[in-house]
Amino acid sequence: MSVDFRKDIFAKERDDNLNEIGKPTRRQDILGHVTGRSPFFDDHRFDGLLHIKCVRSPHHHARIRAIDTTRAETMPGVVRIIRGSDVPVNLNTLLSLLDFGKDDEPVLAESKVAYMGEPVLAIVAQSEAQAHEAVAAVRIDYEVLPHVLDVEEAIKPGAAVVNETYPGNKFEFYGGNDHQKLRFGDVAPAFARADHIVEGRYQMAPIEQAPIEPNGAIAAPQTNDRYVCYTSTQGLFFSLGTVAKLLNVESNRLHFIGGTVGGGFGGKVDSLCEPLAILGAMLTGRAVRYVLDRAEEMQVSAPRSAELWYVKDGLAADGRIIARQLTGYFDSGAYTRLTGYGVVKCIGHLPGPYTIPNVHSDAYCVYTNRTPATAMRGFGVTAVDFAIERQMDKGARALGMDPFEFRLINAYRDGDMKAHRRLAGNCALIESIQAAAERVDYPLGAEFRAMTSMSGGGGERALIPPTRTERLGMLPAGTSTVEVKTTAPGLVPQFGVDLPVPATGLPAPSPTPTPVPAPKAPETRATTYDYGASGLSAPPAPKEVPPATEPAALTKSQPGPVTPKPRYSRYSSLGNRRR
Amino acid sequence: MMVKKPLEFRLNGTEVAVFADEAENLLSVLRAKVGDLTPKYGCGQGGCGACMVTIDGRTVLSCITLAETVAGADVGTLAGLSGERLDPLQEAFMDGFAAQCGYCTPGMIVAARALLQHNPTPDRDQIIEAISDNICRCTGYEPIIEAIQSVVAQERAGGS
């Protein structure tokens, strides 16, 4: 099997004497795969292996009044029943290790359950069958609470509070913002002068990764006071760090072995099984295996989040999109997992691969009483792409244009300024559309066949337009904004403010007070999103700092110097690992 | 006290004897009792094919096969396919990049070998039919079909 390279496209940009690319090569691990000897986590055997099965919530949302394990405890084979109170640190958020989000999810629910299938107890037994039987013998007295399963219902006043850490049912991004913004140009006047307005509402369902190998882990005590854990995780160190935090043990006492993963697709980063398998091994002194069965895999292992999008386009009669407004709601389910991060990724992807001079977008990570959502193949990007591309088809229809040609007119060219203030380079949408059309004998007009990504971009299209923001009003052309939490301790408030900066560079941290506009109202705490410049963000405020709306915060001195650290680069590298 | 039953069968031509739990499935016996780890647990419901083995040459899903039903039978797994040399199917899967994560691969190759045992010259549709019980989630069906076709072509060339 070889790859067909089009030599006529981007010929000048490519060196053709490649040694590996385009040539078949054998995978290093494939001999193990075809002989069935690749060591998946479940291919490790231990004497006296114990098995975990969880007691799970039958309700979307309920308070736990009482748990009765009397009968289960005396059932054959039951070795230990683990409760939330047995978990040393029973609250976490997956990206807390990267300083993103607040701890909001227990390993085992203690006071309430927030989604159907949420684990409440883990039963450790000598066989899986015995664990199942003991699970069925547990009695839990629930007070059923009102639930909410729809993102728009969840953010209405008076909606059931899904997640007490975020009482408004919305994730808080840096600076306490309840959504992520993208502002580029000014959409309102552009809509006013547009020849056509096209609007759409798009709903994408959650998608289960469904790897053939389920999530699982086997943990065993070692003689050197360490615990070995064979795991299906997609991120060994990520999972190790998560367990070290939850179980309050030094990470060097945990020895994770994995890397042979029977399909992941994002569904094996949540570290669902490792904490309980290792805790089980600690509490029993035996090897413990915790594997989701297929029903659990479908019901409680996290899918890609559902997304709801509203898209409004302003179109000129000649086929140009002159304004696009997007509002999106990600359904995070009951807890954050990786959906907040998915929203950040999404904002960096908008408004799709098209050069649009006026863009306005708000994206929310919303909590509902559904299964928590997480990573899944291009999460944050693929679902909104569906919305955008359906919207493109709608736009073409409104204009009476061919949908391919409408896309070709608006596609990024090299040198164009993207709405998130990066110059587009190595664009290939035009060439991809042309190649696809050719393959299926789709007739494109001569001028469209002649288009190329390498011309027509740059110049005026490379400029950042004057941009309207809620907080600062109109920013002059060529400026961007940067979220600054701390430049010099004690001098600048510890919460996010917008500073206009030249697009060519970031302001140097200044030892003198930087004049910053005071926040006007709570909603204006929202900062203008800038993907690249946010590297200047400082660590979040310590908990004792008063909320940003209190003017006292402006003058309150802050403890010790804080070194601004690059943040997005770290998230990006995490995202790149997750495929 | 759980009742255990003695169970004897041949696994890849070798006699084995184990004590099976009541209602224990064949997959569990093979993996936990005998130690043949080539069949995989994927769904436990007979839906994915990762646990596929043969009984007297016919493919079955071992996760939904009662262990006691194989008493005295010939059970075949991927482990029985290669001795000193790999099976041509294994070579073809390696050459054709017909495995990505590798989890469905044992079941795929067992299904393919059973097909060629009964029909050495299947056409493309018969190959697709033969692996239709086996799910691959890394979307590798086409390379898998091509790998099997290449073995058919090889064996046909070698035989004539």
Q: Give tens-digit pLDDT for A366-422.
A: 999 999 999 999 999 999 999 999 999 999 999 999 999 999 999 999 999 999 899
* B89 contacts in chain A (CB < 8 Å): 34
Task: Give the residue on A whose Cα is nearest the Cα of B81.
Answer: A35
> DSSP letter string over B53-77?
EEETTEEEEGGGSBGGGGTT-EEE-
* ipTM above threshold 0.95: yes
Residue ending a domain, among B80, B113, B128, is: B80
Cβ of A36 within 8 Å of Cβ of B79? The answer is yes
Q: In this complex, is the C-beta atom of B73 within 8 Å of any C-beta atom belonging to chain A? A: no
Task: Enumerate the β-bridge partners of residue A78.
Answer: A125
Domain boundary assignment for chain A: 50-145+210-299, 174-207+303-420+422-462, 472-579
B23: alpha, beta or left, given left = phi > 0 and alpha = psi -120 to 50? left
Mark whether B95 and B149 lie in a shared domain.
Answer: yes
Task: Count CA atoms within 13 Å of residue A404 on its CB side.
Answer: 20
Q: In this complex, is the C-beta atom of B138 within 8 Å of any C-beta atom belonging to chain A? A: yes
Q: Which stretches of chain A drop beneath a pLDDT of 50?
A: 1, 485-497, 505-579
Q: How far is CA A478 from CA A183, A504, B16, B107, in A?
A: 13, 8, 77, 59
Residue ending a domain, among B26, B58, B80, is: B80
CATH topology of domain A174-207+303-420+422-462: Aldehyde Oxidoreductase; domain 4 (3.30.365)
Residue ending a domain, among B35, B55, B80, is: B80
Mark whether B15 and B70 lie in a shared domain.
Answer: yes
d(CA A363, CA A308): 10
Q: In this complex, is the C-beta atom of B22 within 8 Å of any C-beta atom belonging to chain A? A: no
Cβ of A210 within 8 Å of Cβ of B137? The answer is yes
Mark whether B126 and B73 lie in a shared domain.
Answer: no
Number of domains forming the structure of chain B: 2
Mark whether B29 and B76 lie in a shared domain.
Answer: yes
Q: What is the SS3 assignment for A352?
A: coil
Full residue range of the structural domain in which residue B29 is found: 4-80
> DSSP letter string over A184-202?
ES-HHHHHHH-SEEEEEEE
Mark whether B103 and B70 lie in a shared domain.
Answer: no
Q: Pick from B94, B103, B131 the residue to mutate for testing the A interface (most A CBs within 10 Å).
A: B103
Mark whether B61 and B117 lie in a shared domain.
Answer: no
**Of A158, A157, A154, A180, nearest to A169 (Cα)?**
A154
CATH number at residue B138: 1.10.150.120
| Tally: H helices and E strands in chain A | 14, 19
Mark whether B76 and B11 lie in a shared domain.
Answer: yes
Q: Give tens-digit pLDDT for A144-175.
A: 999 999 999 999 999 999 999 999 999 999 88
CATH topology of domain A50-145+210-299: Aldehyde Oxidoreductase; domain 3 (3.90.1170)
Mark whether B101 and B35 lie in a shared domain.
Answer: no
